Amino acid sequence: MGTLLKKGRVMRQMSDIVRHQDPVALPPTATVKDACRRMRERQVGAVLVTEGGRLVGIFTGRDAVHRVLAEGRSAARTKLFEVMTPNPKTMPPQKTAIEALRVMEDARVRHLPIVADGILVGIVSRFDFSGLELDRLDEETGLWERI
């Protein structure tokens, strides 16, 4: 099992969290409508945009609202490459949950793709983390605010 012991607590690795994932991935030429339909079917908040197994971008529900609906674009005609976030922040699978949470907090993102040697292996969101991991991030954030 890919966990580390830190300060008496077991820290999960990203590989543990994404081990059995089948993330939603579409090519850059897919439409926003296709992406939104897939997100609804799978009950997820993001689609990973890939070419040949390599991550090239991410498209989220927030992107649908801010970059498509709010701008009056057609979801049926707009392609993902037009409105995705290109080259999103990523993390390798051997990193820990707290490291992922720190990256998400610093980058102010809700979804973090997990990539190994350039190949997409999964994605995490804040909902994938346990209370213990979130509590630790809150402790660290509070400490930094007090310094």
Cβ contacts of 32 within 8 Å, gap of 6 or more: 59, 64, 68, 73, 75, 76, 78, 79, 80, 83
Question: Taking 50 as the threshold, does the pLDDT of residue 87 lie above it?
Answer: yes
Global pTM?
A: 0.80
- What is the rounded (10 degree) CA torsion for 90, 96, 98, 104? 10
CA distance 89 to 67: 19
Domains and CATH numbers, the chain: 3-146 (3.10.580.10)
pLDDT of 107: 93
How large is the average pLDDT for residues 85-109? Answer: 92
Q: State pLDDT tens for residues 17-29.
A: 888 888 999 999 9
| The two three-digit tokens of residue 49, written as one number | 């945009």
